[in-house]
Chain A
Amino acid sequence: MKAMTLPPFLRHVPWAMLVPLTALVLFGGAVLHSAAGGSMSPYAWSHLIRFAVFLVMAFAISLAPRELVLKGAYPAYGLILLLLVLVEIVGKVGGGSQRWLDLGFIRLQPSELMKPTIVLALAYFYGLLPPGMVGSWRALAGPAVLIGLPVGLVLLQPDLGTGLAITFGGIVVLFLAGLPLWWFLGGAAAAVVAAPLAYFFALHDYQRNRVLTFLDPESDPLGTGYHITQSKIAIGSGGVFGKGFGNGTQSHLDYLPEPHTDFVFATMAEEWGLVGGIFTLLVFGIILAWGRNVSRAAPDRFSRLLAGGMTATIFFYVAINLMMVMGLAPVVGIPLPFMSHGGTSMMTNLICLGTLMMVDRWTRKGSSQGI
């Protein structure tokens, strides 16, 4: 009965996800406060303000009608692809590589927007694909082009991390769309064969170094292995309960690189210990589980794939970042959602969450209609 008193647009707010999320963002703010040497500026305030702004945006997205989304899927994909090409051209003309377009009021990074957009486009594609054709070559050819174009453009920038994220999001949609399992196994096998080739012929020197360092961080403790080593020292020295808020030495004395962006988790773990780490993992677990539930409950194929893909995209961010700071993955510049300082990451992740909320709304509307 109480829910009835809420204004209509708040009635279906998924509090079970939103409350832990807000707690995580506030926690992130506290960590950023410490990373700035005990000050709300320059990181913590802007972190919180961005969250507020993009959360409003997420609510706005969640109100979008299904027909509009369906109609807009391909045009949106086309637009972002165009922007990617534009970035490439501007970069060439400017005489150097760049990843963003300066629109005056915001530095737009189209490759980031591509992460949710690829999921949208692929979900739309499979939503239209007749179920009988799922095992045919057509089920793969179109999506391969849809994925290949943006990934190719992003790799040209070059931005391996984002390229991988887009690929991962796309493949997860393909997987959920029910494509034959052996295609994936075959693809995985091909990747295993191709990886060494890519390592020697496609990667840049700095990327190759990062892979080498990941395999043996102690080989170069003052060079490229420095990041991983210092991050592990920060996490390891925190222990179970951490050194206490504001007492982290690794971050405050500049031993930890990027303590407010890519390595924010290490900054947190040094001061809050294993307890803080488990809390962070739990909140991400709640958000992702909520996303999966939304996906499973979705009324149709398009919405299911859309929700599943968005959840996977968030998961990819979290998993790669945490594996990186704990020395389980090479250093790729991927921030931790909702904790790292950075507007683009916040925006992308809240677009994903907004889309999930949108699907959630569709589901409720459908079921209430159905009753």
Chain B
Amino acid sequence: MAIDKSPNANALKQTFDRRMFVLGAVQGGVGLLLAARMGYIAVGENEKYQMEAESNRVNLTLIPPRRGWILDRHGSPLASNRADFRVDIIPDRLDDADREITLLASLLRLDDVAVADLRQRVDEAQGFQAVQVAAGVSLDDYAAVSLRAPELPGVVPQRGYSRYYPTGPAVGHLIGYVGAASREEYEVEPVPLLVTPGFKLGKDGLEKQFEQVLRGQPGARRAEVTARGRVVRDLETREDVQGNSLRLTIDGPLQDYAARRLGLESGSVVVMDCQSGDLLCMSSMPSFDPNSFSEGIGRVEYQMLSQDERVPLRNKVLGGLYPPGSTLKPMAGMALLEAGVDPQETVVCGGGYRLGNRVFRCLGRHGPMTLHTAIAKSCNTYFYSMAHKHGYEIIADMARTLGLGEKYDLPVASQSYGTVPDAAWKLRRFEQEWTNSDSLNSVIGQGYVLANPLQLAVMASCIASGKRIRPRLVLGQGPEPGTFGYDPAHFEIVRQGMWEVVNGAGTAVRSKLPFDDITMGGKTGTAQVRGLSSGARGGAGVPWKYRDHGLFVFFAPVDRPRYAGAVVIEHGVGGSRSAAPVAKDVLTYLFDPQKGMDALHALEASWGGTAQERLASTYAAYASAAAGVRVAPETAMPVTGLRRVDAESRLPASPAEGAEPTEGADRSGGAA
């Protein structure tokens, strides 16, 4: 059947040819369709797809900017940056969180607390938010994690900087700390930088207040990446611009000294330059270590801090309100003098003052008292009598003029500014008339009166200099000292009374400065924690939280005032017993660092180390009790060339000695 001959076969051959033609047309048509489609994609939509290929290929990463430094008044960093290697997790991009965290833990040798902590944070994290695994990772560990990157999607090892606070807890409350942006912060400021792993913003204190100043401009890195995120090569990099530095009025070594000198107590120290208003130190202890916060504080550590009855998370300088007690007496004396009271006028103290059928007690039977001796002996009877006679209004006015009850113009997140009560205030607050007993309670700093330690320091500065002093925290900024219309001689009378308190027959003679040529003036105060009427005393015999607060305001040198300040020791029983000795050592350090350090070192030996060391050991003990795990004792912060703001840096042996003006110059200046 080489050739079909039947007509039927011929018809089939024709059908075949027709249909073959149809098939050919279909094939040609499909070919044309494909060519057209390809032309459309490759030419018509070329631009779109080129962009998509480019955005596939190129990965843009922001480089968090280096944060501006926070400097003390001498230009030494209180907060700086340390280059380090870090590892972050982006929870959204994790493939198998369990496996990856286990692998990371073995690569980075994380202990059980850290791993438990990390799991919890990854579980709780918002998807976009980078969760820190570890900062300050060694180069070897960093390399180990980078090498396993293909097995660890969502894990980001990178070079970066971490915030470094050389004196740790000493500046915790003042400077605050930094951390990764929270969801709320991102909603307020929705810029990509905030969710860039490794970027930290100020969370508290000055770090938060000056966020925009300190932040700087992020850099950008363009890299060619594979579909799995492996970087093939870097294309180009724009450097970041470091944030501006912020120079404070704070004296770094003094800040550290005062914080450490507070020791085991819960309290605060404020020292000001009483001629200018510059805040030299605002120490509040116990505190937290902002370094731990910046590295992402562990759950256990945070728990420990928030459960402590001494509230290490509260800045006591600004947030602590106390009845100022007898520390108001110099101010009240000034008000009386201005009201025309003769300083030689005497009031006989028989142990109390009778108002109607109620007796207001004095702490002693002082006999005949003048203004001078009433300040020195802290005689309540004198001030009861005078307040009753001349009215409380003049004292409230003076209190306000000297800075009490005032919210200062300071770059801080919050201030508790307390109360200077008067008739109008009481009517407004309680809808009650002002009574004479209110006057008597208020004049000795009890009752409704409340002040924070900074206000007490401002009051002391005003009395010390005779100028209208308001606090300044940023060097070269803030209010200039003003003048009062008061008689300078009246200030001198009050200052003499305060001299007597420390150097004569007063309540704080044990806290006399160890110098022949420099003397300190001051006034002690004891603030009752439990109501006066309850009859219960707040001495050393009662539980800590019921003990009285100890307060002390001071200035020095008496003959030529330069420094003034306040010390408040919470539940410190009494001002002369707990607060005045701290003021003495702090001033001693200012005038003679060596002498001050000797005193501190002796004390720290009995307390068990510096504040930083104690915090670390407390944490280790707490963690083993709370979480049942052993925390390896943390090695001390590395000593770097930047470490010039600790108290020791002012000693002659300190390597940084030549690098900054020593307080020796201040001493000769102040003592001349």
**Which A residues contact B (CB, under 8 angstroms)?**
131-132, 134, 172, 175-178, 230, 232-240, 249-250, 253-255, 269-270, 273-274, 277-278, 281, 284-285, 288-289, 292, 295-296, 299-301, 304-305, 308, 312, 315, 319, 322-323, 326-328, 366
* Neighbour of B9 across the interface among A176, A249, A301, CB < 8 A: A301
What CA separation (Å) do A326 and B35 show in the bound complex? 10
B16 partner residues in chain A, CB cutoff 8 A: 176-178, 301, 304-305, 308
Mark B43-68 against chain A: 1 for CB-CB distance below 8 A, else 0: 10110111011101100000000000
Is B354 part of the contact surface with A, judged by Cβ < 8 Å? Answer: no
The 9 closest A-B pairs by CB, nearest first: A236-B49, A237-B53, A131-B8, A178-B15, A254-B227, A236-B41, A237-B49, A253-B226, A237-B50
B19 partner residues in chain A, CB cutoff 8 A: 175-176, 178
B41 partner residues in chain A, CB cutoff 8 A: 232, 235-236, 326-327
Is B517 part of the contact surface with A, judged by Cβ < 8 Å? Answer: no
A250-B12 in contact (CB<8A): no
A134-B12 in contact (CB<8A): yes
Given contacts A237-B52, A253-B226, A277-B42, contact A285 B37 (CB under 8 A): no
**Which B residues contact A (CB, under 8 angstroms)?**
1-4, 6, 8-9, 11-13, 15-17, 19-20, 23-24, 27-28, 30-31, 33-35, 37-39, 41-43, 45-46, 48-50, 52-54, 56-57, 224-228, 232
CB distance from A4 to the nearest CB of B (A): 26
B34-A300 in contact (CB<8A): no
Given contacts A176-B16, A240-B43, A277-B35, contact A233 B53 (CB under 8 A): yes
A-B contact pairs, 11 of them (CB 8 A): A131-B12, A230-B56, A236-B53, A239-B50, A253-B224, A255-B227, A281-B35, A288-B27, A299-B3, A301-B12, A308-B20
Which of B4, B19, B54 is most buried by chain A, counting CB atoms within 10 A of its CB? B19
What CA separation (Å) do A323 and B30 show in the bound complex? 9
Closest to A273 in B: B42
A278-B3 in contact (CB<8A): no
A366 partner residues in chain B, CB cutoff 8 A: 2
Closest to B225 in A: A253
A132 partner residues in chain B, CB cutoff 8 A: 8
B53 partner residues in chain A, CB cutoff 8 A: 233-234, 236-237, 249-250, 255, 270
CB distance from B131 to the nearest CB of A (A): 22
A236-B42 in contact (CB<8A): yes
Given contacts A235-B42, A277-B42, contact A131 B23 (CB under 8 A): no
A236-B30 in contact (CB<8A): no
B49 partner residues in chain A, CB cutoff 8 A: 232-233, 235-237
A236 partner residues in chain B, CB cutoff 8 A: 41-42, 45-46, 48-50, 52-53
B227-A326 in contact (CB<8A): no
A278 partner residues in chain B, CB cutoff 8 A: 35, 38
Seed contacts A292-B24, A296-B17, A319-B27; 12 additional CB < 8 Å A-B pairs = A131-B8, A176-B23, A178-B11, A233-B52, A236-B41, A249-B53, A249-B224, A255-B53, A281-B31, A284-B31, A304-B16, A366-B2
CB distance from A267 to the nearest CB of B (A): 13
CB distance from B599 to the nearest CB of A (A): 66
CB distance from A212 to the nearest CB of B (A): 21
What CA separation (Å) do A177 and B20 show in the bound complex? 10
B46 partner residues in chain A, CB cutoff 8 A: 236-237, 239-240
CB distance from B27 to the nearest CB of A (A): 5
Closest to A242 in B: B42
